[in-house]
Structure 1
Amino acid sequence: MNKFKYSIGYFSISSAMLLTSQQGLAAGFQLNAQSATGLGRAFAGDAIIADNASVISRNAAAMTLFDSAEISFGGTYIDSSVDVPDATYTPLVGDTVETSAEDVGGSTVIPNFYYVQPLEGTNWTVGASAYSNFGTDVSFDDDFMADEFGGDTSLMSVNLGLSAAYRVNDQLSLGAGLDVIHGSGEIYRKGLLDVEADGEALGFNVGMAYEFDANNRIGLSYRFSPDLEADGDVTMGGESADSISIPLPDMIEFSGYHRLHEQFAMHYSLQYVKWSEFDSLTSDDLSTDIKEYKWQDAGHVSLGGTYYMNPEWELRAGYMYDMAPTDEMSSLSIPDSDRHWLSAGVSYKPTEHSTFDLGMSYIIGEEGEIDESLSVIPGTSSNIKATTDVSATTVGLQYSYKF
């Protein structure tokens, strides 16, 4: 069975770091799975807290908050569920019929790796990272009647980055990084579309961190995601091509951290994702677009708290409201809706240098509405109208070591 996968990231650490990302973790096909600590607070404050090296994935400037080298690595397990309980399908020829699908999501593990190294005797800090920002995997059974709308859509995502940060003064730090982007994936619609492609691209990120004092700081970051040109085999409507263009959204994030008491801190994040850039999948060799989306810009807001129980134990929790980018067009291949994150986590420090982290989130998607049409023969079209239910359970584990 052929599908279309495209990924936007690249792990060259080992083949074991390759991953398959599941729909249901964040709105659109964004992933929030960069760390177990972030997962445990719904990623509230993640662009400035800097409690481990995973902060590179959100804001390179915050690396100056480290006074020694640190390594962090781990993984996030995602068990997602996408149900289409009520759907009506009108084929090109024939009467409207009822159809449904259950559990078209899946489960997977998404790994991550980070390293931060302050350069002794300078104001510079450098870092390396490997993680994922985007991905989805939605597969309908072969007997799903509306197979021109269902089929298989699989997107993989991994990011390999190098970053540097400079402390300007006691309050202000600036940072930047380069991202190596590799994409590979598949789309399959029976008798209509068959794509298998991969490719590479370069992105970048910039950020700033500002420390009001030891207990209060804010961070701001911008991440540029390029159009990914993937090479492969594309067949659609009797035409063929050897490449596909995939526009990826830029992201802006603002975070704050405020330690209000010796044992308690609050933190928050606002993230803006320019999903309007993801307007369609195209190929220069085809007469029409492969798939049109016309999404709108969206993002999330999250609020969390950390309780510093004692030198060995930390507890955290958070809530995120994650807004869907779907606007005038919705698609069964990437079912989407606004989502609510309920998160909790814990850190255990058995020694001065070692930390183990556990984070968990339960993600509840609001009921989504699908009304999608497809014209294969001029003057005629098929249509599906449906509601979708999306939910996910995620668990993250992480280990950090300070040298």
Structure 2
Amino acid sequence: MNNKQRSLLAMSVFFACGAQSAGFQVAEHSASGLGRAFAGEGVVADNASVLARNPAAMTLFDKAAFSGALSFVDPEVDVYDVQNKEQSSDIAPTQIVPAAYYIRPIDEKWAWGVGLFSNYGVATDYPTDISAGDMAGHTSLKSVNLNPNIAYRLNEQWSFGLGLNLVYAEAELTRHLGELSYFNGKVPSDKAIDMTGDTFGYGWNAALMFELNENYRVSLAYRSAVDLDFDDGTFRDYTGKYIQNGQPSVTGKLAVKLPAIFELSGFYQLTPDWAVHYSWQRTDWSSFTELKATSNDCKDGVCFEKPEHYKDNDRLSIGATYSFNSDWTFRAGYAFDEQAGKPTLSIPDSDRHWYSAGVTYQWTDNLSIDAGFALVMSEKGNFTEKGSGAAAALGERRFESTGKAYISALQLNYQFN
């Protein structure tokens, strides 16, 4: 049942092909961070968006602060079916990623804050009539994380933070017959299956920050894995092959694990005008081992099952900030995002290179505006994949993928009196 297996996979993961981070991770949390390729994102603390990476940094704020950001992700991802000589162009639609943050000091020791953002998401749309329609089609996963936090300053050097992650996710997918249509007299664009569902998940995050002096600080942050249990998803079978007793749809159960994230961030003020930043992010992709959906109404109780071949991946970034004057600040950064999973048609994962630049304009004493831009280049991928059912007799098919993405972001920051 590989067509359904790949469908579930694509429901959960796509942006690996170059639009964002490895697997289905979302990095776009702020416009200021985008301008430096998110280097030092957990400790720069130039606005409230630092909350997305490190709650301990809330102790750096002496006034209440708000940040709201919109990121625009425009991927250009193409996949070529070598055997059938079919090109699927621009398979990833443009996405808008919103985020909002609020931080409020309680006293000299304590602070609290709340963030609303996403750590994981996906969108992809292959042509309906391609030969590989049983392996790729329309997919969408939207998730939002409500993240309340508390922070405590132990002394001049050490601060700690702790938070709760409340994650809501919606998923949708459609797959078509593709080459399977050659065995039943139908056309490739006829539907094979579709699936929809939504769920809530819960996790936690913790962080610490060390300030050597006013010019140098470093942080460690951890965000736990989140289990998403789609217990009431609707699975529709248009072929009559996967659901027993001839039912058109059933309620299925599906578990998807959002991996844990560990991040080290550093900030160093070289001169009054220049600062440098760095980050190392490690994502626990090795915990993502299989995708399995079950229902008593599916044959043998399993609607689909697929093992995954993932490993923990690293993201390394470095950036710089230049304060031109009291009104204008400029940023630049570079990041290397390591491939996490074995490439497939649904996930043509590869190494990515980020090239970023950004600017801040201080509109008033309390209000500033950030803008950021990044070009994300994916290394060319080559991989093979085998069809399902009768299409398996055709053997493995070979694919090539190329991709890049243009990411831009705008952000408003307000500091309350």
| C-alpha deviation, 1:183, in angstroms | 1.3
Q: Which of 28, 31, 34 is 1:36 aligned to?
A: 31
1:155 aligns with 2:149: no
> How far off its partner does 1:7 sit?
7.6
Q: C-alpha separation between the residues in 2 aligned to 1:302 and 1:21?
A: 18
Cα distance in structure 2, aligned partners of 1:401 and 1:279? 43
Alignment equivalent of 1:81, drawn from 69, 76, 91: 76
Name the residue aligned to 1:14.
none
Contact 2:17–2:349 (Cα < 8 Å) also in 1: no
Match of 1:322 in 2: 337
Partner of 2:212: 212
Distance 1:379 1:346 in 2: 52
- Distance in 2, matches of 1:254 and 1:301, equals 10
Secondary structure of residue in 1 paired with 2:40: coil
C-alpha distance in 1, partners of 2:394/2:149?
49
Contact between 2:267 and 2:276, CA under 8 Å: does it hold in 1? yes
State the 1:296 CA deviation. Answer: 1.2
Contact kept in structure 1, 2:233 and 2:253, CA below 8 Å? yes
In the alignment, which of 341, 351, 356 is matched to residue 343 of structure 1? Answer: 356
Change (3 A) 1:300 1:69: same
**Structure 2: tracts of 5 or more residues without a match:** 1-6, 178-191, 244-249, 296-300
Q: Does structure 1 residue 53 correspond to structure 2 residue 66?
A: no
Q: 1:112 maps to what in 2?
A: 99
Deviations 1:127-185 (A, max 9, x none): 01101111121111112111112212222122111001100111000001101111111
State the partner residue of 1:232. Answer: 233
Q: Which of the pair is proportionally richer in helix?
A: 2
Distance in 1 of aligned mates of 2:143 and 2:386: 28
Shift of 1:369: 1.8
Structure 1 counterpart of 2:268: 258
Q: 1:292 to 1:105 in 2, by over 3 A?
A: same
Which of 118, 129, 147 matches 1:132? 118
Contact 1:197–1:243 (CA under 8 A) maintained in structure 2: no
Structure 1's unaligned 5+ residue stretches are 9-19, 90-96
Q: Are the equivalent residues in 2 in contact too, given 1:73–1:400 (CA < 8 A)?
A: yes
Q: CA RMSD in A?
A: 2.3
Secondary structure of 2:57's partner? helix
Q: Which amino acid aligns with 1:111?
A: P
Could you tell me whether the CA contact under 8 Å between 1:22 and 1:136 is conserved in 2?
A: no
Residues 221-276 of structure 1: CA deviation (Å, up to 9, x unaligned)? 00012220012112465134422111111100000000011110110000001111
Give, in angstroms, the shift of residue 40 of structure 1.
0.4
- After superposition, the C-alpha distances for 1:179-225 in whole angstroms (9 at most, x for unaligned) are 11111111222254422111001011000011000010001100012
State the AA in 2 paired with 1:355.
S
Instruction: Provide the rounded CA distance (Å) in 2 between the counterparts of 1:6 and 1:87.
Output: 21
- In structure 1, C-alpha distance between the alignment counterparts of 2:341 and 2:16, rounded to whole Å: 20
Is 2:244 aligned against 1:242? no
Contact kept? 2:17, 2:348, Cα under 8 Å: no
In the superposition, the TM-score normalised over structure 1's length comes to: 0.89
1:365 aligns with 2:359: no
SS, match of residue 389 in structure 2: coil
The Cα offsets for residues 90-117 of structure 1, whole Å up to 9 and x where unpaired, read as: xxxxxxx322211111112111100000
Contact 1:185 1:197 in 2 (8 A): yes
User: Within 1, Cα distance between the matches of 2:255 and 2:113?
Assistant: 30
SS at match of 2:56: helix
Q: Which residue of 1 aligns with 2:180?
A: none
Structure 1 Cα separation of the partners of residues 370 and 294 of structure 2: 47
Residue 364 of structure 1 deviates from its aligned partner by 0.4
Structure 1 residues 351 and 268, CA gap change in structure 2 (3 angstroms): same
Cα distance in 2, alignment partners of residues 22 and 310 from structure 1: 39
1: CA distance, partners of 2:233 / 2:54: 34
| Identity score, percent | 36
Maintained 8 Å contact 2:242/2:303: no
Does the aligned pair in 2 maintain the 1:77–1:109 contact within 8 Å? yes
Q: 1:92: which partner in 2? A: none
Tell which structure's C-alpha radius of gyration is larger: 2
For this pair of structures, how many residues does the alignment match? 380
